[in-house]
Amino acid sequence: MSSIEALAKIISAGVQDIEAQCAARGVAYPTPDVVCSSETDTIQNEFSSQATPIIAAAYQLIATLSHPQPYLLGMGLWGYFPTALAYIDATFVPDILREAGPKGLHVNEIAAVTKVHPGRLGRVLRFLATRHVFEEVAPDVFRNTRLSSGMCLGKSVKEIVESPLDRWDKSSGVAAIVSLNGHENMKTAAYMVETLLDPVTGWSEEPTEAAFQRGNQTPLPCYEWLEQPENITSLKKFPNAMRATTHYNSDKAVNEGFEWDKLPAGSLIVDVAGGIGNLTMALAGTHKHLRYVVQDRPAVIKAAQEHWAAKMPGAVEKGFVRLEPHDMFDPQYIRDASVFLLRYTTHNWSDKYATKFLTRMREAAQPTTKLIIIDGISDYLCRDTSSIDDIPGAAKPAAPEPLLPYPDSTIGWGYLMDLNMLAMMNCQERTVGEFVTLLGGAGWKIERICRFEAPLPQQVICVPA
């Protein structure tokens, strides 16, 4: 069988299998025109493992059948996708179309809400419709698809128009992360080539010498830049954007992997650089026998206080959850932690800086304290796992050829995030081997790794070395 046939077979057999399982249960796999709901989320989450190799095979088939010229020319312009999506968020289109319903709305009426050029908005919508984000149901009339409805904020358009800066609050965070990628991150990406070719910045581990500084014309590192008064929109957006990463298939991260329920009652979980406490909130909602502390920069903790008061009233007042400003590069004052948690934080720092805060936690750890790093792991794209075979859980099953070995990683956003990290702060996603070296340098060792299908993050469970 040729590789083209093999890929086509993975797609057709996989799709038939999903459809047969859906039919046996009397449900239908949602087509693109079915807008997002808890029902579509449930079905898609349930079948995500089965859908993953099919999606990977479809990408590989496109690459196999494409002539290099149109493939590369198209790829060279993909940067307009994030820009288009950020514009869609800024013009509130998903929620305007949600209110319009299945008949859709003429672009003149969509554009009137934010008083933008209707013809230009229509071109952006049509461009996105080529990839099934929106559908053009009649000339210049657009409606939501399941993909575009994933950006809805769940508020009335009236409410969004009256208070646009608050529009991402309490949403799934998808629109916020899309906006972040299309605005702040794209300005950064535009300066990556100059930054990497520069003999100083191209080798730098400093968060002040990344493409971010060139793109945003600032000497400040990303997190300090966010807190400048003129960047209030970005500061509002950022913690909401982080929530999107929790929302997707969130139960798995909380209920699977590390055995939270086996920790003794009253054990203290310290979520270092925990943002507004998105992960802690998910844990606290499920594992009520534990105590929690969220630490972050003072401005973020202020936002966290409002977030917890709105979403889990009473938790802070009763002392079940503490929200505390703390610079993670300072000595860690909590000495009785059962678990130090670091989610999506290690990847924000180069080894030079990550070693410093990991050392701070190691100095404060008891012999029984665990460190749980929840972050992406960069898989090598070859099939040689010999360097990680002795770490429990580190290697994961490889897909059969002709697929690339790890379909979940290749279709997920991990490798994109790795480049994003490089551009924003000269930092990175890490391979298992890179984690071993980094953690070893700070007095920790990996006990085991709990693998989740990407784009869910992995749990790297560490103990004092």
Q: Which is nearer to ligand SAM, 155 or 360 (CB)?
A: 360
d(Cα 351, Cα 245) in Å, to the nearest integer?
A: 24
Q: Tell which residue, 290, 296, 216, has the closest CA to residue 260.
A: 290
Please give the structure tokens belonging to residue 101.
Answer: 């319903």
Q: Which is nearer to ligand SAM, 140 or 375 (CB)?
A: 375
Rounded to a whole number of angstroms, the minimum distance from the CB of residue 159 to ligand SAM is 25
3-state class (DSSP) for residue 339:
strand
Q: Which is nearer to ligand SAM, 358 or 404 (CB)?
A: 358
Count of CB atoms within 10 A of residue 212's CB? Answer: 26
Residues binding ligand SAM (CB under 6 A): 223, 242, 273-275, 278-279, 296-297, 300, 327-329, 343-345, 348
Q: Which residues pair with 269 in a beta bridge?
A: 292, 339
**To which H or E segment does residue 409 belong?**
helix 407-411
Q: Could you give the strand order of the β-sheet that contains 458-464, starting from the edge strand earlier in sequence?
A: 321-325, 291-296, 268-271, 339-343, 370-375, 458-464, 444-450
Q: Which residues pair with 448 in a beta bridge?
A: 461
Q: Which is nearer to ligand SAM, 345 or 428 (CB)?
A: 345
Q: Which is nearer to ligand SAM, 96 or 290 (CB)?
A: 290
d(Cα 55, Cα 412) in Å, to the nearest integer?
A: 10
Contact 321, 294 (CB under 8 A): yes
Q: Tell which residue, 314, 318, 261, has the closest CA to residue 286.
A: 261
Question: Phi and psi (nearest 5°) for 95?
Answer: -75, -30
Contact 276, 307 (CB under 8 A): yes
What is the amino acid identity at position 88? I
Largest Cα–Cα separation, the chain:
67
Q: Which is nearer to ligand SAM, 35 or 284 (CB)?
A: 284
**Beta carbons within 8 Å of 278's beta carbon, 6+ residues apart:** 239, 242, 243, 245, 246
d(Cα 213, Cα 207) in Å, to the nearest integer?
A: 9
Q: Which is nearer to ligand SAM, 87 or 344 (CB)?
A: 344
DSSP state of 181: I
**CB-closest chain residue to ligand SAM:** 275
d(Cα 230, Cα 217) in Å, to the nearest integer?
A: 13
d(Cα 461, Cα 88) in Å, to the nearest integer?
A: 39
Q: Which is nearer to ligand SAM, 110 or 279 (CB)?
A: 279
Q: Which is nearer to ligand SAM, 93 or 273 (CB)?
A: 273
Rounded to a whole number of angstroms, the minimum distance from the CB of residue 94 to ligand SAM is 23
Residue 145: HSE in the Cβ half-sphere, 13 Å Cα cutoff: 17
Residue 281: HSE in the Cβ half-sphere, 13 Å Cα cutoff: 23
d(Cα 241, Cα 177) in Å, to the nearest integer?
A: 4
Q: Is the peptide bond before 32 cis (omega within 30 degrees of 0)?
A: no
DSSP state of 322: E
d(Cα 387, Cα 384) in Å, to the nearest integer?
A: 8
Query: Measured between alpha carbons, how far is residue 207 from residues 272, 352, 437 in Å?
Result: 19, 10, 21
* Residue 287 annotated as catalytic: no
Residues labelled catalytic: 347
